[in-house]
Structure formats: C-alpha cells, structure tokens
Chains A and B, each alone.
Chain A
Amino acid sequence: MSAILLIVVAAALLLVAYIVYGGWLARRWGIDAKNIAPSHAKEDGVDFVPTAKQILIGHHFSSIAGAGPITGPIQAAVFGWVPVFLWIMVGGIFFGGVHDYGALVASMRHEGKSIGEVIHANMGKKGKTLFSLFSFLTLILVVAAFTDVVATTFINSAAAGISSMLFILIAIAFGIAVYRKGVPIGIATVIGLVLMGLAIYLGLTLQNVIVLPKIAWVIILIIYIAIASTAPVWILLQPRDYLNSFLLYSMIAGAFVGIILARPTLQLPAFTEFKLSQYNMLFPMLFVTVACGAISGFHSLVSSGTTSKQIDNEKDAKLIGYGSMLIESLLAVISLIAAAVLTREGLANGGSPINIFANGCANFMNAFGLPVDVGVIFVSLAISAFALTSLDTATRLARFVFQEFFSKGEVGTESAVDESNLLTNKYFATLITVVLGGGLALKGYQVVWPIFGSANQLLAALALMAVAVWLRRDGKGYNMILIPMAFMFAVCLSALVLVFMSNLAKGGYIMVVISAILFALAIVLLIEGIKIFTDPNTKGQRLKAQN
C-alpha cells in the first residue's frame, strides 16, 4: 500500500475533524467571539497580553511539540501500522484534541487560571504531597527516557552527535550576539542558519574521527542538561529553540512533500499480533507508548498556564488548542510512515526511533534532491534539539519539586532560602535529578518508556478529570470528556500492572518499585479526584476569583 494514501487520508480526516468536531465542541462549550477574553479584560502587559493567533499558535505548538510524536509511533509500530494509525486518528481527534482544547477553554473561562491551579487548589495537603512525589518520579523518567533516546541516536549517527554539540555552541553565540551585543535578529538568524549548515557539514566530515561510546554520550548529555537547566534562558534555551523552530517547520514540510513525491510503499504488516510477549500486549501498551500524537498529559499542563492569558478572541482557541494537537497528530503519522516503510526486521535493527525517523524522512526528502546523508543529520539535529528542550524543562521542574518538598517557604522566595539545608540548594537538587535520571537512562529507553508513558497518560487522565470539573462548574456539557477519561485511567492502571510484572520477572527491581509507587499514587489521586468531581456543591458553581 502506498504511504501517500495514508498521509492524504490522515490530513483529510484531521481537517474534517477540525471543521466538524471542533465546530461542534465550540458550540457545545458556548464559544462566542463577543465574549471578552481574559487577555483584554485583565490586560496588564505582563500576564494578560492579547496576541495574534498566528504568533500564538507558533508559541503553543513549540511548547507541546517534542520528541514524543516521533518516538512513540515508531516504538508502537511493532504491533503493525493499522492499530497505531487508528489510535493516532481517534486519539488525536476525540481524546487529545478535546483534552487540549478543553483545558484551554476552561482556563479562559476562569480568568486564565491553569488546570494545575485547580488541582492544586482543590486537593488537600495529602493530595499535594502525593502529587509532588508523582511529579518527581515522572520527571526523572522523562530525563532517563529522553537521555537514552538521544544517546542512542548519537552512537548510531556520530555525525548527528557532533552537529548537535556544535549547534549548542552556535545557539550560545547567537544568544550573546543578539541580547548582549545588539546584533539585529534578522542578520543573526541568517548567520545562525548558515552556521547550522556548516555544523551539518562538519558532522559529516568528522563522523569517523570522533566516535564515542554510549556511556560517554550519556555523561555528556547529563553534564549538558545540568548546565542548561541552571543557565539563564537567554544564553541557551531561547536561542536554541528559536533556531530549532526553523528546522522543525522545514522538516515537517519537507517530510510531507517528500512522501508525496517519493510515494514510498508500506512494508510493515498492517497488523502483527495482539500479544507480542507475555507482558507486551496491544492493550494497554499501544496507548501508553503513543502519547503525544494522540493524547498527552503534559500538553494541558504546559499550555493552560500561558496560552489562555494571551488569546485575543475566544474563537481563536479552536485553532490554537484543537488545531495544534491535530498538527501534532499529523507529525505522528509521518513518524509512523517512516517506520512502516521498513520490514519488521528493518524496524528491529534500525536503531533508536530518532534514527529510524531521520533515515525515513531523509529518504523521502531525497525525492526532491536533498542528499540522504545530509537529510539524516538535518532531521536528527531537529529532533534531538527538541528532546534536549524536554530534558531541560523536565530537569528544571524536577529540581523545583525536589526543593519545594524540603523547603519551609515558597521556592524562589527569601523564606525558602536555608543555606544550612543542602536539600533546598538549587545546584544540589539539580545534581540529584541528573544523577538519578542518568542512572536510569543506562537501563535503556525501551525499559523506561512504557513506565514513562503510563505516568504521562495518567497525567492526561487527571487533566481530563480536571477539565470535566471545570466544565461542570461552568454548567457546560462535559460528556465528551468522560469516555476518554475513563479509558485513560483503565489504560494507565493496567499498563502499570504489566510493567510491574514484567520487571519482577526479569529482576528489574528499580522499575518494580517505581511502577508500584506510581500505581499506588494513581489510585489515591483517582479517589481524591472522584471526591471532587462528585461533590454536589460544585455543580454549576464557578470558582471564586483568587489572587
């Protein structure tokens, strides 16, 4: 079967869903262009700033996009491409899109408050402590999974590793040039992009000269994220993400056009088997492996805090909340195609998901003349940079959670500063995070990803519950939330049981302990959530304004 059919069907379905289902959701939730958005009602030039939708969708998409829609579908392709495709379509349209759009609307209707603030405000002290522990474990898993995915990519493609390290240096130079020295951003961008081309060239030239073992890459990455997560954002994070956005958008466009021109044939079986091994079954593992392209807990938490405060008009929320998720689903389909053009043996021996994606896209883009080896590095560079962004963010958050757990006052305020308590020190907390994450990374992303996926999808389930609570308080319809919510809880809890049992069987006791803790936390949080949701006092009653 031709991959063109798959991509065209996906694009068509997502477009129809955007117009039809997105329109139905907007009517159901009472979206009205005449309603005054918080960005205008509370405009203060600080938090609440009306922003054009074209700019906002870029900000929002770059916040939610990461290596997730790449790695998940490729790993899940072992079940065959049909189940993965169906989950991406159904999940993206009815689960993830509803989840992201609903979180955004709920936040807008509540003065821009984030979903997390509702969870935080409504849980008791026990709930908050458990949520902190849950968050810390999940973030360590993110660090472990993404560190190993990137390290594996770099040992399979030394050129990508060299180019990525050079890219970091270019980003730092860009930050200094633009912010410290006042170089106009247009000129700096052109120079930056040219230097990135040079970095790709040097990667190709030196790939047989600089060859490092995996442990070396893990250590380099750990050191990198320790520095990146403590450095000011202007010197690395912002310039890196800015330059990388050019790579990302051109990569998506190039891969899409490349598939149309190359007309690759799908070689992977449409469906392999339901039970690949004793503990690796299509349900629930497909649904925790493919996260960001279908539904992902981190989306609602990242997006609701800032995007809702900047939306110029309520009607823009559909494009930004629902539309962004559907674009990510399209990216997930492209990833799936990159895997599905391989045979089962090819997929098993293709290296890390990033390697498979890079090779696939490079071959597609070769259809319009881009050399394959250049394309591989170009794509690897783009995806690795996004994985590094996720690593940076996860490390900062994990550090915050660690510090907060041991601080008496609020982290970031004077009352939290206790120089006698090493556990509240920013650098010590960072060290703990990267050492734990790096240590787990050595177990391999294949071991860590299922448990990371379970935790991430559990967050999605909790966020869906919070969206339902918000809508219920607002007197709006929330039935479209209940099925995805129940499904995600069922998926996550059963996945954690399987991970527990599989690691117990092979003596992976660290994963056994982590999965057991996450399962227990999930049950407690579910019970806390149900109590809030079923509280008759909350129906049709908006939250009072809080400072």
Chain B
Amino acid sequence: MSPETYLEQLEGKLKNQYDLERNTSFHGAAFDLQATFRIRNERYIVSKKAVVYAVEAAEYHFIRITTALPSWDEISALLNLFEAHYTDLVTMHEDHMNSIIQLTFIVEDIPADKSYRQKVQKLNKQISSFLGLKGWVDFGVMFYSVTKQDFLANRIGKKMLDAYSI
C-alpha cells in the first residue's frame, strides 16, 4: 500500500470521530492531514445546565507523508514550534484535563539508527497549567511504516496507535 492510499483510508476511518483537514500548515510547518478530536464529559442533575462536573480532552494529530526521514534536529524544531504556539490549539481552563499534540510521519521504513530510536522512545514533553489543575498538554511522536505495518513512537505516540491501524 502506498502512503497516499493509506492516508485516504485513514481519512475514511477517522472521519466519524475526528474533524479532518487536508494540506494544512501550522506556523509555516506543512502537513498532509490534520485530525482533531474533542470530547467533553459532563455529569449533571435535574437539567443539563446544572453541571456537577465536566472534563474536556482533545487530540490534535498532524500527519505528514515523508520519503526522507527527518533529522532529530528537525523533529526538535517542530516540537519547539508546537510548544511555543500550543495556545493556538489548546485553551487551558478549569474543565480542561488533557490534550495531546501528536506528530505522525508516514514513512516507508521506520528509523533504524539506535540512538535516534532511543531519542524518540524516550521523548517526554509536557506543558501544564497551574500545576496541572487546569490540565496539561502531552506531545506524541510516531513514525508509521505502511509497508511493514510497523511503528516507532514515544509513550504518548504509542497510545495513539489504534487510530492509525487500518
């Protein structure tokens, strides 16, 4: 399966739960697909206005097809870009629990270099607000090989794997 075909199938899978947008950019960084998922759980009594508590969570997936593996410096630069401008996507408020900003690279083969792989797997980036009382933002990174159906991801990226399985 080619990456483009995979992306089309992925779109078909995600369209019921995610808001999708093709060929987007985020502060100059281009992506082939952006998928956004938001969920708000409320518990209320008597009326929907009487909210006992509410919890919001969200996922922001930025997916790029790439033939050449990005260097670790390029990955870091992208993560720093999202870290600097995350407020364009996420509003931290008292009902916000957590959001995930996920960078996914669709590749032919996942990186083989051991130190590169370790850097990806050990990546742990998080921003919190008011010691987490207004929630936090986790950053996920994943390389997904459509030919070998294999992946390389950090802890957060691994949690998102189900969304990418066709």
Contact = CB atoms under 8 A, between A and B. Distances in A.
A116 B128 CA distance: 37
A117 to B, nearest CB: 5
A403 B134 CA distance: 21
Interface stretch (B37-45, B74-82, B102-110): B37-45
Nearest to A459: B46
Nearest to B155: A182
A233 interface: yes
Contacts of B128: 180
Nearest to B124: A182
Query: Which of under 10, 10 to 19, 20 to 34, or 35 or more describes the interface residues of B?
Result: 20 to 34
A401 B55 contact: no
A306 B45 CA distance: 9
Query: Which of under 10, 10 to 19, 20 to 34, or 35 or more describes the interface residues of A?
Result: 20 to 34
B47 A117 contact: yes
B44 A305 contact: yes
B115 to A, nearest CB: 24
A182 B124 CA distance: 11
B49 A410 contact: yes
B99 interface: no
B94 interface: yes
B46 A119 contact: yes
B55 A234 contact: yes
B53 A237 contact: yes
Contacts of A232: 55, 94, 97, 133-135
A46 B57 CA distance: 11
A95 B46 CA distance: 20
Nearest to A410: B49
A75 B156 CA distance: 51
Choose among B16, B39, B50, B156 the residue with the greatest number of A CB atoms under 10 Å from its CB: B50
Contacts of B44: 114, 305-306
Contacts of A396: 52-53
A200 B44 CA distance: 34
Given A179-B97, A412-B51, A45 B17 contact: yes
Contacts of B47: 114, 116-117, 120
Contacts of A298: 45
Given A46-B39, A46-B40, A179-B97, A233 B50 contact: no
Given A234-B97, A305-B45, A400-B50, 11 more contacts: A46-B39, A46-B40, A116-B45, A120-B46, A234-B55, A235-B132, A301-B45, A393-B45, A393-B52, A397-B52, A411-B49
Interface of B: 16-17, 39-40, 43-53, 55, 94, 97-98, 128, 132-136, 155-156
9 contacts: A232-B94, A233-B53, A234-B55, A234-B97, A305-B44, A305-B46, A404-B49, A411-B49, A411-B51
